[in-house]
Amino acid sequence: MLLESLREQVLKANQEIARRGLAPHTFGNASGIHRSGSQPLVVIKPSGVDYNALTTADLVVTDINGKILEGTLKPSSDLDTHTLLYRAFPQIGGIVHTHSEFATSWAQACKPIPCLGTTHADYFHGSVPLTEPLTAEEVASGYVRNTGEVIVRRFKAENLDPIAVPGVLVAGHAPFAWGKNAHEAVEHADVLEYIARLAFRSVLLNPSSADLPVHVRDHHYMRKHGPKATYGQKR
């Protein structure tokens, strides 16, 4: 069986998004990529399989263009989005797609999540971006692939670093998050849902809520992720 270690990581990531309530029913998926060797290989959840029933043997292995190399089940219907993001963002090693309640609400409202406080700034360097809606032509010519395209287009248009902004809202759809591996992608998906909930309640309490001042935002992000980060313990 190919990539047993990565399969274990991806299995745990899929189970974890279900355990944390980020993906009710089968509304979500996680993947990971193995970038060393002769060609990058992707491990992803099969389509529509219950998280509690999922095993490492059920996971599907594809190349970075989505060609199935190992697996007897159909891969996630979001496979083409995952593989496109892996091609566009070579820094990332894991992707999670959920339909978590509050982040999906912002996506359906077609509003980016503003950076209103330091909890947000600790993980996302700026607002959580929102894609443009897919056009009728994009839906007809390749809906899943073009979902990835609109994500990449938003990051290029705003010159965003996918490491500093580890997630996005797809307009009318739901969030995607990523990280250096599948485990970190789950953490970012969980944080994204939490800050979406905080932002929703903040705006509900005060519709005039203002973005966190840039100097405070940058200080919080850099103290955790910058070259002179002070957060956490030295290894």
Please state, in angstroms and as integers, the Cα–Cα distance from residue 173 to each residue in 22, 112, 185, following that order.
Answer: 14, 13, 19
Spatial distance between the Cα atoms of 172 and 148, rounded to a whole number of angstroms: 14
Residue 145 CB partners (closer than 8 Å, separation 6+): 80, 81, 84
Q: Can you name the residues that pair with 61 across neighbouring β-strands?
A: 43, 70
Which is catalytic among the residues 58, 122, 211, 218? 122
Which is catalytic among the residues 63, 143, 161, 231? 231
CA proximity to 212, closest of 149, 128, 118: 118
> Cβ distance 150 to 232 under 8 Å?
no
> Cβ distance 93 to 13 under 8 Å?
no
- Burial of residue 188 (CB within 10 Å: 0-12, 13-18, 19+) is buried
**Active site includes 122?**
yes
Separation of CA 8 from chain center:
19
Three-state secondary-structure class, residue 18: helix
Which residues are known to be catalytic?
Answer: 122, 231
